[in-house]
Structure 1
Amino acid sequence: MAVDPETLNPVNYSRAESLQIINLLFQSLLSADLGTNTIKPFLAEAMPSVERQDSITLFTYEIRKEAEWTDGSPVTAQDVAFTLKVAKAPLLNNESLKPQLEFIKDIRLDAGNPQRFTFVCSGFAPEMELLTGDFFILPAYLYDPENLLLHLNVADLHNGQQAVAQDEKLKTFAAQFNTPAFGHDPRLLQGSGGYVLENWQNGQYLTLTRKKDWWGNNTSNTQHLTANPQRVSFQVIPDITTALLALQNRQLDVLENIPAHEFEQLRKQESFLKDYNLHTPDAYDFYYAGINTRNPKFSDKRTRQAIAHLLDVNNIIQVSQMSYATPTVGIIPPSVKEFYNSNLQPINHDANKASTLLQEAEWIREADGWFKNIDGKREQLTVEVIYRAGNTNFENAAAILKQNASHLDIPVQVQGEESTLLSSRSKQHNFELYFRSLSGNPFAFNFKPLLHTAYAGMGGLNYTGFGTSESDSILDKISGTVPDREQQAVLLRRLQEIMQEEAAIIPMYYTKERLAVHRRFTNTKVSGLKPGYDVSAFTLKQE
């Protein structure tokens, strides 16, 4: 891993590094089997039964009777209800999960079967079947031993946020849940998965050990439920050169996110290929530039469009990705042809077009740069670019933008930031332009937390401030009551048009994964879906 996980809290994590480990500690009702890239029941006994009733849809699940928490107690519908309360309640750090489950209005528990329950959902959308099962279930006994949330109803949390926010027990629970311990303490990070967190040395490594007599070993016809390795160690190595050296010295069994040039060199090393397999599945990692629309210099979309024309995405791909990336016009992967807007053309490198757009935005080119009166003050067009330090993909993109901008006398200052500082600056809107990546999947396209103006406030995930009334309406429909996939496709294509027009998020490309796995392992389940492979499934080859 290049960096430590920001948190291992299953409710408010945001990084792929966190997801990799949380997947081994906790489970959701449904999840992707990386061996087949299909959705399968994990904690659930089977896919849910679906019943549509006018304005609501009912999804009924039953949890596997074998499913247990770390203390040996059964996973029940009460735990699912508790998790929903945590996801929906005010005052809690749940901004990432809350919008994903916004369509769930209530939960009905089966009085005769503690493992059976029904979600009551608003309207119907094709993605709801996945979304009702695609969140990690928390152990109520461990997270809320005082039963502080027991008296609250999911329906009340769905409908009456302001009134519930005054609840004293909720305030007490929130004060506990929002502490760092719920994302770092091994005593709290115990789910229904096959592993427990043994040790976390910040900046060095995280070690997980397999549970004794894990319940998943006692199920039949569930080859996707695995906990094969007895011990898994994640090494934190910020410098990719050091990581590659460790790989070539056979000190690592798996290395992912290998830079394209280094990956090509590994392909040519016969001695290395005797010990390692190299894989390049199509990934769902979206690389983009984000512009802070709140900054007066960039409030005019024509200014942002001009910067987009200075990026030169094709050159960025050639320099940093070689053949391991696909240009994209928007946030939808080009491989998802049903939803990708193929009628749009990528914004190409065009200095003349950029110059014209800046003039239309009332910038005046003078001998020493571009100037404009903003709020009664003469401002020069300069751009500060930040990205995660050590990421050569972003470093190359920033260098290319700086070079192209210099031809138009636009000064660009480039700064690599430590990961935590970059995240903090993004959340606090303390940036002008950043390079980032997002991890997605081909199953769900609810971008509301990232793009809706309701999440553009301080601390929200809409860092750039993107959003129009039309885009908000589209995002509301996609996350709520889209009637069918055809209508969903229409909405998503229109969203891509609006995003290109607004140019707050400038799309660059989707990558292919590049990873090396030692040949002594089989059943590695390499996939373009995160985390890219299923380490819980690894087995040793028979000699």
Structure 2
Amino acid sequence: MAVEPETLSPVSYSNAGALQIINLLFHSLLSADLGTNEIMPYLAKDMPTVVRNDSTTLFTYEIREEAEWTNGSPVTAEDVAFTLKVAKAPLLNNESLKPQLEFIQDIRMDAANPRRFTFVCSGYAPEMELLTGDFFILPAYLYDPENLLQHIEVANLNGDLSELENDEKLKAFAAKFNSPDYGRNPKLLQGSGGYTLENWENGQYLTLTRKKDWWGNNTSNTQHLTAIPQRVSFQVIPDMTTAVLALKNRQLDVLEGIPAAEFEQLKQQDSFLKDYALHTPDAYEFTYAGINTRRPKFADKRTRQAIAHLLGIESVIKVSQQNYATPTVGPIPPSVTDFYNTSLRPYTFDPEKATELLKAAGWVKENGGWHKHINGKKEQLTIEVIYRAGSHSYENAASILQQNADQVGIPVQVLGVESSLLASKSRQHDFDLFFRSLGGNPFAFNFKPLLHSNYAKEGGLNYTGFGTPESDRILDRISSTVTSREEQARLLKRLQEIMYEEAAFISMYYTKERVAIHRRFANAKISGLKPNYDVSAFTLKED
């Protein structure tokens, strides 16, 4: 792992590495089988039944009979209701999950079957079938043994929740749940998955151990429910050069995210290829540049467009990705042809266009730099770029921007920072421009938490401050009231146009993943979906 998880909380995790580990500890109702890239029932017995009414949609689930928690008690509808409360209540660290589930208005229990329940959802969108099942279910017995949330009804967790913020039991629960313990303590990180967290040595490794009598071993026709390796160890190696060296020395069985130049070298080494298989699935992860629109010098979209024309995306792809990437105009993979806006063209390096846009935005070039009077004060256009230290891809992107901007007279300072500091600066809006990556999937395109102005406040996921009244309306509609795939396509293409013009959240390229897996393993389930393989399914090949 290049980045150690900040937390393994199933509600507030913040990176793909954490998600990979949580997937081994907890289950959602539905998830993707990396072997087929199909959505399959996990905790759920089957896909939900769907009943559409005028203004609401009902999704009915039943949990598998075999499903149980680490202590042997059954997973029930009460656990699902508890999880919804945790996801929707105020005061809790649930900023990333809350917007994904705001369309779920209530949960109805089946009095005759404790495993059966119905979600009452506002409106309808094709993605709701997946979204109703795509969140980790928490064990109520373990997370809330004092029943502090029992008095709260899910139906009352919609709209204005300011009165609830004074609820003494909720405040007591929040004090516990928001503590680091709930994201690090092996005794609390006990889910319905096939593994438990055995050890977490800060900055070194995390080790998971297979449960002895896991319920998933007793189900039929569930090849996607696996827990085969007895132990899985995730080594934390922030420096990729060190990680590749460990791979070459046969100290790692799996390494993903291998830099393109090193990957090309590995392809030429026969002794390495004898022991390792190399894989390049088309990933659903894209790299983007985020510009802080809250800073007065970046408030004019023409200034941001000028910067977009200095990113040199084609050079970044060539230098840092060795062409293992595809340029994109937005957060939709070009491979998803129904939703990708082919009428737009990715930003290209164009210093003349950048100069023209800067002048149009009111900047004047003098004394070797660009100046403008902002709020009565003369300001110079400078850019500080931050990125995760140790990432050659981001470092190259920052260097190319620095060189390109120098050609038109914009000073650029580049700064590699630790991942925790990058996350903190992003949340607190303490940046000019950053490079980050986001993982997605081909099933759901609800970008509301990332792009809606409601989530642009400090601590929200809309770091750049992107948002127009029209884009907000589109995001609201996509998340709750889209009636057909055709309408969804039209709205997503228009959203890409607005994002392209606003140039605050500038999508640059989608990558091809680069993974090495030791040849002694079979059934790796290679996929473009993160984490690009399913370690829980690994089997040893027979000699």
Q: TM-score range by the shorter chain?
A: over 0.9
In the TM superposition, what is the alpha-carbon distance from 1:427 to its structure 2 partner?
Answer: 0.6
| Corresponding pairs, count | 543
Q: Residue deviations 1:134-157, cap 9 Å, x none?
A: 000000000000000011110001
Query: Counterparts of 1:229 and 1:497 in 2: how far apart (Å)?
Result: 46
In the TM superposition, what is the alpha-carbon distance from 1:227 to its structure 2 partner?
Answer: 0.2
* Runs (5+) with no aligned partner, structure 2: none
Q: Which amino acid aligns with 1:317?
A: I
Percent identity of paired positions between Structure 1 and Structure 2: 75
Say if 2:130 is the partner of 1:130.
Answer: yes
State the match for 1:428 in structure 2.
Answer: 428
Query: Counterparts of 2:114 and 2:521 in 1: how far apart (Å)?
Result: 40
State the match for 2:43 in structure 1.
Answer: 43
Q: Which amino acid aligns with 1:75?
A: V
SS at the partner of 1:58?
A: strand
State the match for 1:333 in structure 2.
Answer: 333
Could you tell me the TM-score, scaled by structure 1's length?
Answer: 0.99
* Aligned 1:149-188 pairs, distance under 5 A: 149-188=149-188
State the match for 1:220 in structure 2.
Answer: 220
State the match for 1:523 in structure 2.
Answer: 523
Q: Residue deviations 1:161-213, cap 9 Å, x none?
A: 12222211111111111111111111100000000000000100000000011
State the match for 1:312 in structure 2.
Answer: 312
In the TM superposition, what is the alpha-carbon distance from 1:368 to its structure 2 partner?
Answer: 2.1
In the TM superposition, what is the alpha-carbon distance from 1:160 to its structure 2 partner?
Answer: 4.5
In the TM superposition, what is the alpha-carbon distance from 1:350 to its structure 2 partner?
Answer: 0.6
Deviates more, 1:32-41 or 1:366-375: 366-375
Q: Residue deviations 1:49-91, cap 9 Å, x none?
A: 1111111111000000100000000000000000000000011
State the match for 1:391 in structure 2.
Answer: 391
Q: Which amino acid aligns with 1:256?
A: E
Q: Which amino acid aligns with 1:474?
A: I
Query: Counterparts of 1:93 and 1:367 in 2: how far apart (Å)?
Result: 48
Q: Which amino acid aligns with 1:62?
A: E
Query: Counterparts of 2:3 and 2:162 in 1: how far apart (Å)?
Result: 38
Q: Which amino acid aligns with 1:364?
A: V
SS at the partner of 2:473?
A: helix
SS at the partner of 2:158?
A: helix
Could you tell me the TM-score, scaled by structure 2's length?
Answer: 0.99
Query: Counterparts of 1:403 and 1:323 in 2: how far apart (Å)?
Result: 20
SS at the partner of 1:336?
A: coil
Q: What's the C-alpha RMSD, in Å, of the aligned pairs? A: 0.7
State the match for 2:83 in structure 1.
Answer: 83
State the match for 1:93 in structure 2.
Answer: 93
State the match for 1:342 in structure 2.
Answer: 342
State the match for 1:267 in structure 2.
Answer: 267
State the match for 2:253 in structure 1.
Answer: 253
Query: Counterparts of 2:399 and 2:346 in 1: how far apart (Å)?
Result: 20
Q: Residue deviations 1:255-290, cap 9 Å, x none?
A: 000000100100011111111110000001110100
Query: Counterparts of 1:76 and 1:393 in 2: how far apart (Å)?
Result: 45
State the match for 2:503 in structure 1.
Answer: 503
Q: Which amino acid aligns with 1:432?
A: D
Query: Counterparts of 1:67 and 1:492 in 2: how far apart (Å)?
Result: 38
State the match for 2:473 in structure 1.
Answer: 473
SS at the partner of 1:314?
A: helix
Query: Counterparts of 2:159 and 2:170 in 1: how far apart (Å)?
Result: 16
Query: Counterparts of 2:494 and 2:136 in 1: how far apart (Å)?
Result: 32
Deviates more, 1:157-166 or 1:266-275: 157-166
State the match for 2:372 in structure 1.
Answer: 372
Q: Residue deviations 1:477-514, cap 9 Å, x none?
A: 11111111110111100000000100001111000110
State the match for 2:485 in structure 1.
Answer: 485
* Aligned 1:277-316 pairs, distance under 5 A: 277-316=277-316
Query: Counterparts of 1:53 and 1:196 in 2: how far apart (Å)?
Result: 42
SS at the partner of 1:126?
A: coil
Query: Counterparts of 1:105 and 1:165 in 2: how far apart (Å)?
Result: 19
SS at the partner of 2:114?
A: coil
Query: Counterparts of 1:457 and 1:63 in 2: how far apart (Å)?
Result: 37
Query: Counterparts of 1:441 and 1:14 in 2: how far apart (Å)?
Result: 16
Query: Counterparts of 1:236 and 1:305 in 2: how far apart (Å)?
Result: 38
Segments of 4+ moved more than 3 angstroms? none
State the match for 1:113 in structure 2.
Answer: 113
Q: Which amino acid aligns with 1:158?
A: N
In the TM superposition, what is the alpha-carbon distance from 1:367 to its structure 2 partner?
Answer: 2.7
SS at the partner of 1:91?
A: coil
SS at the partner of 2:277?
A: strand
Q: Residue deviations 1:407-448, cap 9 Å, x none?
A: 111100000001101110111110000000001111001111
Q: Which amino acid aligns with 1:76?
A: T
Query: Counterparts of 1:160 and 1:43 in 2: how far apart (Å)?
Result: 32
In the TM superposition, what is the alpha-carbon distance from 1:402 to its structure 2 partner?
Answer: 0.5
Say if 2:462 is the partner of 1:462.
Answer: yes
Query: Counterparts of 2:37 and 2:511 in 1: how far apart (Å)?
Result: 17
State the match for 1:4 in structure 2.
Answer: 4
SS at the partner of 1:165?
A: helix
Q: Which amino acid aligns with 1:17?
A: G
Query: Counterparts of 2:478 and 2:14 in 1: how far apart (Å)?
Result: 21
Query: Counterparts of 2:55 and 2:89 in 1: how far apart (Å)?
Result: 24
State the match for 1:139 in structure 2.
Answer: 139
State the match for 1:20 in structure 2.
Answer: 20
Query: Counterparts of 1:433 and 1:354 in 2: how far apart (Å)?
Result: 17
State the match for 1:236 in structure 2.
Answer: 236
SS at the partner of 1:59?
A: strand
SS at the partner of 2:196?
A: strand
SS at the partner of 1:207?
A: strand
SS at the partner of 1:115?
A: strand
Q: Which amino acid aligns with 2:324?
A: Y
Query: Counterparts of 1:532 and 1:5 in 2: how far apart (Å)?
Result: 18
Query: Counterparts of 1:123 and 1:458 in 2: how far apart (Å)?
Result: 29
Query: Counterparts of 2:334 and 2:341 in 1: how far apart (Å)?
Result: 8
SS at the partner of 2:59?
A: strand
Query: Counterparts of 2:49 and 2:398 in 1: how far apart (Å)?
Result: 49
In the TM superposition, what is the alpha-carbon distance from 1:123 to its structure 2 partner?
Answer: 1.2
SS at the partner of 2:288?
A: strand
Q: Which amino acid aligns with 2:495?
A: L
Q: Which amino acid aligns with 1:25?
A: L
Query: Counterparts of 1:147 and 1:99 in 2: how far apart (Å)?
Result: 25
SS at the partner of 1:285?
A: strand
Q: Which amino acid aligns with 1:20?
A: Q
Q: Which amino acid aligns with 1:81?
A: A
Query: Counterparts of 1:56 and 1:289 in 2: how far apart (Å)?
Result: 38
Query: Counterparts of 2:124 and 2:164 in 1: how far apart (Å)?
Result: 27
Query: Counterparts of 1:266 and 1:108 in 2: how far apart (Å)?
Result: 55
* Runs (5+) with no aligned partner, structure 1: none
Query: Counterparts of 1:407 and 1:53 in 2: how far apart (Å)?
Result: 59
